[in-house]
Amino acid sequence: MKRLEGKVALITGGARGQGEAEARRFVAEGARVVIADVLDEADQRVAAELGDAARFQHLDVTSEGDWQAAVDATLAHFGRLDILVNNAAILKLVPIEACSLEDYRKVIDVNQVGCWLGMKSVLAALKDAGGGSIVNVSSTAGMEGVAGGSAYVSSKFAVRGMTKAAALEFGRHGIRVNSVHPGGIDTVMARPPEFSDFDPASIYSGLPIARIGKPDEVASLVLFLASDESTYCTGSEFIVDGGMLAGSTFH
């Protein structure tokens, strides 16, 4: 039997990168998936390639109305909802001194408020399904600071914390809530203009696993947390970073 047979998932930021990899893996494992994003053209392409097991849904994660519409569309099309993957995020790297309040709040709204709204919006549907799994994608920046990343770091620490609060609140309903903390993963978001002068090979060569990570490697971990293989896991952090947070080596 496939690992997500009979389950329905809603994945935000599903049009590309980690979200796309998760959507493809979930469908391969038997799930039906709503791929939600603001990138409508890419969103529709991925859903079309996955066939009847997937549908696209426009979703601005900062909009409570969009969230309700996405949940309603999921229930109308697939009849239930078992899994939420809060994957949508944006990255802005700028020193605090030069960061505008507007830019700071934009990152917080998408990465932090969007995650919170997602959990709140799917709760009734997951209760009706008899339980389920919420996977909140944080970052290694939710475990340590990043110079120039005050907004991103703040948002990802918040995702880590709200995951624990939600796990405590939702556990009695059979709903598990965990956070995933990727390190450097080879996606469009991980190659912002601010990194144009950096060579990825030199950045990651010092890791125990001396390379940048792949979206499929994050998808494998998210799949585990979404599936019934992780039924005793909740309120925890799961790191996929090639050993980035393990410590330092001296040669």
Helix (H) or strand (E) holding 30: none
Quote the CA–CA distance of 182 and 242 in Å, as a whole number: 9
Tokens representing 57?
A: 């849904």
152 catalytically annotated: yes
132: β partners? 175
Residue 108's identity, in one-letter code, is: I
Quote the CA–CA distance of 113 and 106 in Å, as a whole number: 10
Q: In terms of Cα–Cα distance, which of 122, 144, 141 is closest to 133?
A: 122
Quote the CA–CA distance of 175 and 187 in Å, as a whole number: 30
Distances (CA, A) of 161 to 4, 108, 112, 154, 189: 27, 14, 10, 11, 23
Tokens representing 89?
A: 């995020």
Catalytic, out of 104, 152, 204, 232: 152
Question: What are the percentages of helix, strand and coil residues in the chain, rounded to 5?
Answer: 50, 15, 35
Distances (CA, A) of 106 to 12, 133, 231: 17, 27, 35
Quote the CA–CA distance of 248 and 251 in Å, as a whole number: 10
Residue 216's identity, in one-letter code, is: D
Tell me which residues are annotated as active site: 152
